[in-house]
């Protein structure tokens, strides 16, 4: 455990907890405390410093919320990874940033010039992840996708097709919703592939789901309470919180969001992923879907956000039609993205609003230009209309299925594999591990072997940091659970990655 040398000045204008905070922060930035080191418990530190424990907790909480420290389920505070700052001491800005500095962050403590290294913190909500020193050999990221050369060539074809024509109008402002031909193509695709029932005038093309949620916030005149499952898609959670929406974590069972919990939550909006819940992989059966739709239909202003992020990829059974397609009340807001079906860097998502919300959209948001450039929209349109997208999807389904099978094959019969969840769809699976180690330890030891894994605990929201309390009963296990994404890994990498991971438990 790290020894701390902290000299408190009872005469200082700085409150004691603030002095403790400054000492520890300083040691972290200067490297005196290095990433992964364990800090003394608040009880111990309080005793040594002869201050109340709540004083120490105040300092620790602040360091936690600012991403300097992280906790682990077993308890204890650990230093987070911090990369060296890019601002050289002595630059004009840094010297002068004093006045601005000490106040800049609103609620959080003010960053001084040096604190700009905060840039390199893990994104909010990922404090428990340790950035690896360099590219891991094998990154089981659930966000990984493959971009095969054939598709790359197809994309270039689409670009050339777009360039071939004289299109000066592409440099004039376009429709706020997005280009009409692209919206029609998305409509057609959603109807045949997902049974989504909409007109192109209900489709909004935007640069990513998070941006579309920011628009939705404005259409629905937020802030409003949002019900989310736990664990869930953290980025949507953080977006709602940034916008000032109170997020009510609702327990989910093996059929998805718990209705009683939803009713109690007092939420106006329910954010769900009925076709393939992230990260659990739950598929919501018809009965539960109908109950949810009824909940929405029962009161004015209730809506369901159906995030259909990876429904393109199912390797067994029929695709599950969208919730939107069976909504009799016009209360489902459908969200989809090309980030998984094509690539994250495309930055094109789409939102289908109920007809009843279009007037509000145009009144409040109609003046926004689409956040996707028209050139980008037309490249994508060519990719869809040219049949490239369909071919790409078919190719990807086969490729991802093979990787999925390869991964399951590798896990099969391993003593450390306690159980596997969500194994026949999407781009990741869940593995419950038979071990005494914590998710934290596994992540660190795997990282040391060049393998990056993602602990389920980090996707929990609300009350308990790990969110375990809210996990479905069938996943309430205290054993570590890992997300293993395989979209971006070829089969050799998968085999070697699992072999290295296994070493930790042998």
Question: What is the footprint of a copy of itself within residues 335-374 (CB under 8 A)?
Answer: 342-348, 354-374
Q: Which of 97, 230, 258, 311 binds a copy of itself (CB under 8 A)?
A: 97
Q: Between vectors from CA 317 to CA 315 and to CA 318, what angle results, nearest 5°?
A: 105
- Between CA 343 and CA 147 the distance in angstroms is 7
If binding is defined by CB under 8 A, does position 159 make contact with a copy of itself? yes
Q: Which stretch binds a copy of itself (CB under 8 A): 44-52, 181-189, 203-211, 438-446?
A: 203-211
Q: Which of 81, 197, 445, 491 binds a copy of itself (CB under 8 A)?
A: 197
Reading the block at residue 457, the tokens are 């605990």
Q: Which of 41, 57, 235, 490 binds a copy of itself (CB under 8 A)?
A: 235
Query: Restricting to residues 285-304, which ones interact with a copy of itself according to CB under 8 A?
Result: 297, 300-301
Nearest to 505 by CA among 448, 436, 453, 458: 436
Query: Restricting to residues 206-225, which ones interact with a copy of itself according to CB under 8 A?
Result: 207-208, 210-211, 214, 217-218, 220-223
Q: Which stretch binds a copy of itself (CB under 8 A): 19-27, 49-57, 167-175, 315-323?
A: 167-175
- Between CA 49 and CA 30 the distance in angstroms is 22
With the CA atoms of 90, 122, 60 and 76 taken in that order, what torsion angle do they form, in degrees rounded to the nearest 10? -130
Quickly count helices (H) and strands (E) in the chain. Answer: 17, 18
Reading the block at residue 399, the tokens are 């490729």
If binding is defined by CB under 8 A, does position 254 make contact with a copy of itself? no
43 or 93: CB nearest a copy of itself: 93
Least distance CB 459 / a copy of itself (angstroms): 13
If binding is defined by CB under 8 A, does position 461 make contact with a copy of itself? no
3-state class (DSSP) for residue 263 = helix
Distances 217 to 214, 253, 297, 352 between C-alpha atoms, Å: 5, 28, 20, 14
Where are the strands (E) in 184-265, listed by range?
203-206, 226-229, 247-250, 252-253, 256-257
Least distance CB 149 / a copy of itself (angstroms): 8
Q: Which helix (H) or strand (E) holds 201?
A: none
CA atoms within 13 A on the CB side of 148: 17
27 or 410: CB nearest a copy of itself: 27
Least distance CB 440 / a copy of itself (angstroms): 20
Where are the strands (E) in 293-366, listed by range?
303-307, 332-337, 349-352
If binding is defined by CB under 8 A, does position 38 make contact with a copy of itself? no
Q: Which of 57, 71, 112, 419 binds a copy of itself (CB under 8 A)?
A: 112
Q: In Å, how far from its chain's centre is CA 170? A: 33
Size of the site for a copy of itself (CB under 8 A): 112
Query: Restricting to residues 54-73, which ones interact with a copy of itself according to CB under 8 A?
Result: 66-67
Q: Which of 41, 71, 176, 490 binds a copy of itself (CB under 8 A)?
A: 176
* DSSP, res 436: S
Nearest to 53 by CA among 63, 61, 62, 43: 43
362 or 397: CB nearest a copy of itself: 362
Q: Which of 15, 52, 150, 171 binds a copy of itself (CB under 8 A)?
A: 171
Least distance CB 233 / a copy of itself (angstroms): 11
Query: Restricting to residues 399-418, which ones interact with a copy of itself according to CB under 8 A?
Result: none
Q: Which of 18, 87, 405, 435 binds a copy of itself (CB under 8 A)?
A: 87
- Beta-bridge partners for 78: 38, 70
Is residue 208 left, alpha or beta, with left meaning phi > 0 and alpha meaning psi from -120 to 50? left
Least distance CB 339 / a copy of itself (angstroms): 8
Q: Which of 107, 287, 318, 412 binds a copy of itself (CB under 8 A)?
A: 107
Q: Which of 11, 75, 90, 106 binds a copy of itself (CB under 8 A)?
A: 106
If binding is defined by CB under 8 A, does position 42 make contact with a copy of itself? no
Cβ neighbours of 439 (radius 10 Å): 24
If binding is defined by CB under 8 A, does position 393 make contact with a copy of itself? no
Task: Name the phi and psi angles at 407, rounded to 5.
Answer: -60, -45
- Between CA 377 and CA 394 the distance in angstroms is 22
Angle between helices 374-385 and 180-194 (to 10 degrees): 40
Q: Which of 63, 82, 113, 256 binds a copy of itself (CB under 8 A)?
A: 113
Query: Restricting to residues 126-145, which ones interact with a copy of itself according to CB under 8 A?
Result: 126, 143
Least distance CB 401 / a copy of itself (angstroms): 21
Least distance CB 143 / a copy of itself (angstroms): 7
């Amino acid at each position: 455990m790290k020894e701390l040398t902290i000299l408190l000045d009872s005469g200082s204008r700085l409150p004691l907890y603030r002095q403790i905070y400054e000492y520890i922060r300083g040691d972290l930035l200067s490297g005196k405390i290095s990433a992964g080191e364990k800090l003394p418990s608040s009880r111990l530190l309080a005793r040594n410093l002869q201050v109340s424990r709540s004083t120490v907790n105040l300092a620790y909480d602040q360091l936690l919320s600012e991403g300097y420290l992280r906790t682990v389920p077993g308890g204890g505070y650990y230093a987070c990874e911090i990369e060296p700052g890019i601002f050289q001491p002595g630059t004009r800005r840094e010297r002068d940033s004093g006045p601005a500095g000490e106040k800049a962050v609103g609620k959080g403590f003010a960053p001084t010039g040096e604190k700009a290294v905060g840039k390199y913190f893990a994104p909010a909500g990922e404090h428990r992840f340790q950035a690896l020193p360099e590219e891991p050999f094998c990154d089981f990221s659930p966000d990984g996708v493959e971009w095969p050369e054939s598709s790359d060539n197809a994309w270039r074809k689409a670009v050339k097709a777009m360039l071939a024509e004289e299109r000066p109008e592409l440099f004039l402002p376009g429709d706020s919703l997005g280009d009409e031909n692209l919206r029609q193509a998305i409509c057609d695709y959603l109807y045949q592939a997902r049974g989504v029932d909409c007109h192109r005038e209900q489709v909004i093309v935007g640069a990513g789901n998070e941006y579309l949620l920011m628009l939705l916030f404005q259409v629905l005149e937020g802030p409003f309470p949002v019900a989310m499952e736990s664990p869930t898609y953290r980025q949507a959670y953080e977006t709602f919180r940034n916008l000032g929406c109170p997020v009510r974590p609702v327990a989910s069972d093996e059929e998805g969001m718990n209705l009683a919990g939803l009713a109690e939550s007092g939420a106006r909006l329910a954010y769900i992923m009925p076709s393939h819940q992230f990260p659990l992989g739950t598929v919501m059966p018809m009965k539960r879907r109908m109950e949810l739709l009824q909940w929405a239909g029962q009161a004015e202003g209730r809506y369901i956000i159906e995030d259909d992020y990876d429904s393109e990829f199912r390797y067994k059974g029929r695709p599950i039609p969208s919730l939107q397609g069976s909504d009799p009340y016009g209360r489902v807001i459908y969200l989809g993205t090309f980030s998984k079906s094509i690539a994250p860097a495309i930055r094109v998502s789409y939102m289908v609003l109920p007809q009843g919300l279009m007037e509000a959209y145009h009144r409040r948001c109609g003046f926004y230009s689409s956040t996707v450039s028209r050139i980008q929209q037309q490249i994508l349109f060519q990719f869809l209309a040219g049949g490239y997208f369909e071919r790409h999807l078919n190719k990807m389904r086969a490729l991802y299925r093979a990787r999925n099978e390869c991964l399951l094959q590798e896990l099969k019969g391993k003593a450390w594999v306690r159980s596997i969840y969500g194994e026949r769809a999407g781009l990741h699976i869940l593995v419950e591990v038979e071990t005494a180690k914590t998710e934290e330890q596994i992540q660190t030891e795997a990282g040391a072997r060049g393998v990056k894994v993602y602990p389920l605990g980090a996707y929990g929201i609300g009350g308990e940091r790990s969110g375990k309390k809210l996990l479905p009963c069938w996943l309430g296990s205290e054993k570590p659970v890992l997300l293993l994404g395989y979209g971006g890994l070829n089969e050799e990498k998968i085999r070697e990655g699992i072999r290295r991971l296994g070493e930790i438990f042998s």
